Structure 1
Amino acid sequence: MSSQDTEVLVVGAGQAGVAMSEHLSANSIPHLVLERDRIAERWRSERWDSLVANGPAWHDRFPHLEFSDLNPDAFAPKERVADYFVAYAQKFNAPIKSGVEVTSVEKNEGGAGFRVQTTDGTINARYVVAATGPFQKPIIPPLIPQDSQLQQMHSSSYRNPQQLPEGAVLVVGAGSSGVQIADELQKSGHQVYLAVGPHDRPPRKYRDRDFVWWLGVLGLWEAAAPPVGAEHVTIAVTGAHGGHTVDFRNLAASGITLLGRANSFDNGTVHFAPDLATNIANGDANYLSLLDEADAYIARNGLDLPEEPEARTLGPDPESVTNPILELNLADAGITSVIWATGFGVDYEWLKVNAFDSDGKPKHHRGVSTEPGVYFLGLPWQSHRGSSFIWGVWHDAKYLTDHIRIQRGYLTYETEDAVLNQAAGTPGTSPSSEQAAPAPQNVDALRG
């Protein structure tokens, strides 16, 4: 096993790790990126076959490379997104080492930095950036026993309808993943039941502009925190089939049975909360609110964008909303499989530092953790609403790089006397490895 030193170790080479490496490279900060699989592996092997990006190609990208082979308003397929990050890393020769897993990170007791154990040896690093993102550990609520006769899987394990046995499917969760998977399964011939929880439901496009454009010009991407009580609200939006607004009434009209939140299970029966109508109504309110803000912005700025009055027309509530199903015997309904589109948790067992709360969640401010020298990147709402999106993580990486650059400036500080003594060759005044930069560079670093 080898041993090496690096100033910054970045763990993970997905969108967060590649962004961090670009900024570190631009600032000539020595670093190494470790990836246990391939660059952007989760896009390739941990998503369903037909997945596309949720944002258009002109928006869901880094600043210095476009999707040159796609229409700017198209939605990139998942393999194309993964290839994009590979190409981006090659643009600046990112020092990425694939096939190496980090098994532990611990402070160097009595010394600076951290001792990192990997499957390829030991690394000593002054700074560590956990760029493993928010999609680390699939969450399956302990609702239906795993030893039941049902096939159960998380959305991250779903690939295509052919995976599932014949019979009806219960999809739990109605964010982007849940609604797209439910729609695909229904179109493939499965009877689908979809449990719908609280959600935001933006228009895919309104008055000739995608919703990502509206969030930008309205300043909504810059929100620093979700509204109180909406910390875990999902976004029902899709880029599938060229992109369209998610409308649960249309899903119901296609044959999907809508349900409220799944609450409990006993004797083969799932019990659902009586909240379906409320969840649909709140999603509608979110949708209409964005239309109102968009109309006001157009009027205020005198923009010539086509009117779209039909966008405000909401159809009648389906039977499943007006007469909700509160309990469902899975066998009687012919349900043979359950897909849990219930999100992810974080997994930082390898990061053995004082940077987590009692629930194991990172303690940080804009990615700067409570453990000096440790940083997080790619977290939802890390600094604003866009933090876990492709373009947002790039800007968060710049902020962390600036923080590291400033800290390096402090560490290379020397007094004027020390610099003069070194220049004169005074014995005993040679700088340590932490004091290798001359004073003028130190001043520049601290000034930014």
Structure 2
Amino acid sequence: MTHYTTIVVGGGQAGLSASYYLQQQDINHVVLEKHTLTHTWRSQRWDAFCLVTPNWQCALPGYPYTGNEPHGFMTKDQIIDYLDGFIAKVNAPTKEGVAVQRMTARPEGGYLLNTSKGDFTADHVIIASGGYHTPIIPRLAERLPTQITQIHSEQYRNPQALPEGAVLVVGSGQSGAQIAEDLHLAGRKVYLAVGDAPRCARLYRGKDVVDWLAQMGYYDIGVDTHPLREGVRDNTNHYVTGRDGGRDIDLRRFAHEGMQLFGRLESLEGTTLKFACDLGANLEAADAVYNRINASIDKYIAEHSIDAPIGTPYTPLWAPKEERSELELTASAITSVIWCIGFQPDFSWVDVPVFNGRSYPGHTRGVTARQGLYFLGLPWLHTWGSGRFSGVARDAQYVVQHLAATGLCRERQQAV
């Protein structure tokens, strides 16, 4: 049985960032990856995918973005090139194709990891496998007509890969809104079930909204000081796009152009889908967040006497005349359904009592109450950027520094 001082589970940007700092501390370690390094970016993104945050926020440790478009948005191929460069930069000790099946605490200290390629032990474990593991697909999907193609957002690639006919997209978060746009731009008939996801502007008063929020210190706010505290982890990401240089996603404009919008999908009766009558309320709530963010930028500009172009609140260009609660599948010629309602975390393999009643790991900045067990790469692990290229380096550095300090203290105690 092979023993390491530290085992990192997961070979995405979080796991590789951990390896970067572990190497700086000269800590013996290995990165175990179920598939291949940065697998998710290569296998779970559609062809037209691009970042929704500016390239300058790509700040992986020792490997910041250095291209010619800091305020642009990398496409899928460019992201993979960036990650390939990071992989080469870190040169992490890695075992690919190794799935961790169970992890338990050892009576003598440290952890035992049972994997698809044998057992390993470690004094410390950093779980960096992210928080998006199991695609969410509702049970009503089982009762849809068998001739309808059903996929999850992680399986979507392009409009041409779907059967001819209309497409129902369920969910209007970042993936749902962008996939609906991708289909709409390709001339497909799109039905969109709109949820409660908020939205934000791409550009406002002369700059990208992300630039303003960074200048305002928003991305430095920790979950411990955020007004919502840990509740912020339940927030849905704002929908916006970096496509074609970046722009707003306005579902009202799509509706004006022919996309069919409905409220939240509730049930299926025979071949008739039933929707909540909340489309108008959901659109208004998304617009309210949009205007509220812009208003906070207005306030900041005024307080700091910044010379910037005048801004105006968003004015809706379309509103539903009535709430439609039903959609008959045959009459609407829907041949495909894309489920864009997110993922659930799956840490069932971690047999260590560190989870709360919602199966979420209890931690402070990734440090759990169990000696030597850490988490990295979770959304809002500490800040907004924790699960992204912009903030994972800071989290990884903090976790590794804590690991190194506690490991040194333990060695000193054992020596005494």
The verdict on a shared fold, with TM-score over 0.5 as the criterion, is yes
Q: 1:129 to 1:229 in 2, by over 3 A?
A: closer
CA deviation after TM superposition for structure 1 residue 144, in Å: 2.8
Match of 1:119 among 111, 116, 119: 116
Q: 1:203 to 1:223 in 2, by over 3 A?
A: farther
Match of 1:57 among 55, 58, 65: 55
Structure 2 runs not aligned, ≥5 long: none
**Residue 128 of structure 2: aligned partner:** 131
**Residue 444 of structure 1: aligned partner:** none
**Residue 85 of structure 2: aligned partner:** 87
**Residue 254 of structure 1: aligned partner:** 257
- Give CA-to-partner distance per residue, 1:214-271, whole Å, 9 cap, x none: 2222233315257469824332111122211111111112221111111111111111
**Residue 298 of structure 2: aligned partner:** 295
CA RMSD of aligned residues (A): 2.0
TM-score by length of 2: 0.93
Aligned-partner SS, 1:263: strand
CA deviation after TM superposition for structure 1 residue 131, in Å: 0.4
Q: 1:159 to 1:263 in 2, by over 3 A?
A: same
* 8 A contact 2:58–2:65 mirrored in 1: no
Letter of the 1:128 partner, please give it: V
**Residue 273 of structure 1: aligned partner:** 276
CA deviation after TM superposition for structure 1 residue 411, in Å: 0.3
**Residue 443 of structure 1: aligned partner:** none
* 8 A contact 1:259–1:325 mirrored in 2: yes
**Residue 288 of structure 2: aligned partner:** 285
* 8 A contact 1:260–1:272 mirrored in 2: yes
Aligned-partner SS, 1:33: strand
**Residue 364 of structure 1: aligned partner:** 363
Q: 1:229 to 1:282 in 2, by over 3 A?
A: farther
CA deviation after TM superposition for structure 1 residue 372, in Å: 2.7
CA deviation after TM superposition for structure 1 residue 11, in Å: 0.6
1:264 aligns with 2:261: no
* 8 A contact 2:59–2:393 mirrored in 1: no
**Residue 345 of structure 2: aligned partner:** 346
1:379 aligns with 2:382: no
Q: How does 1:37-76 map to 2 (within 5 A)?
A: 37-76=35-74
**Residue 26 of structure 1: aligned partner:** 24
Higher RCO (C-alpha under 8 Å, 6+ residues apart): 2
**Residue 393 of structure 1: aligned partner:** 392
**Residue 165 of structure 1: aligned partner:** 163
Aligned-partner SS, 1:106: strand
| Distance (whole Å) between structure 2 residues aligned to residue 229 and residue 263 of structure 1 | 25
Q: How does 1:83-232 map to 2 (within 5 A)?
A: 83-108=81-106, 110-145=107-142, 148-149=145-146, 150-221=148-219, 222=221, 224=223, 227=228, 231-232=234-235
- Give CA-to-partner distance per residue, 1:57-113, whole Å, 9 cap, x none: 1113325323334411111122322332232232243222222222221222x3111
**Residue 406 of structure 1: aligned partner:** 405
* 8 A contact 1:57–1:70 mirrored in 2: no
* 8 A contact 1:139–1:345 mirrored in 2: yes
| Distance (whole Å) between structure 1 residues aligned to residue 189 and residue 403 of structure 2 | 53
* 8 A contact 2:255–2:318 mirrored in 1: no
Aligned-partner SS, 1:386: helix
**Structure with bigger gyration radius:** 1
Aligned-partner SS, 1:391: coil
- Give CA-to-partner distance per residue, 1:363-388, whole Å, 9 cap, x none: 22222224332211111121122222
| Distance (whole Å) between structure 1 residues aligned to residue 272 and residue 59 of structure 2 | 44
CA deviation after TM superposition for structure 1 residue 8, in Å: 0.8
Letter of the 2:365 partner, please give it: R
| Distance (whole Å) between structure 2 residues aligned to residue 220 and residue 387 of structure 1 | 13
Aligned-partner SS, 2:65: coil
* 8 A contact 1:180–1:240 mirrored in 2: no
| Distance (whole Å) between structure 2 residues aligned to residue 292 and residue 179 of structure 1 | 24
- Give CA-to-partner distance per residue, 1:370-420, whole Å, 9 cap, x none: 433221111112112222221122211122112212211220225xxxxxx
Letter of the 1:341 partner, please give it: C
* 8 A contact 1:5–1:123 mirrored in 2: yes
- Give CA-to-partner distance per residue, 1:105-136, whole Å, 9 cap, x none: 1222x311111122332211011111011221
TM-score by length of 1: 0.86
Aligned-partner SS, 2:46: coil
Letter of the 1:367 partner, please give it: G
Letter of the 1:334 partner, please give it: A
**Residue 329 of structure 1: aligned partner:** 328
| Distance (whole Å) between structure 2 residues aligned to residue 166 and residue 78 of structure 1 | 25
* 8 A contact 2:291–2:314 mirrored in 1: no
* 8 A contact 2:20–2:61 mirrored in 1: no
Match of 2:309 among 306, 310, 323: 306
**Residue 6 of structure 1: aligned partner:** 4
**Residue 77 of structure 1: aligned partner:** 75
| Distance (whole Å) between structure 2 residues aligned to residue 263 and residue 176 of structure 1 | 20
| Distance (whole Å) between structure 2 residues aligned to residue 45 and residue 316 of structure 1 | 37
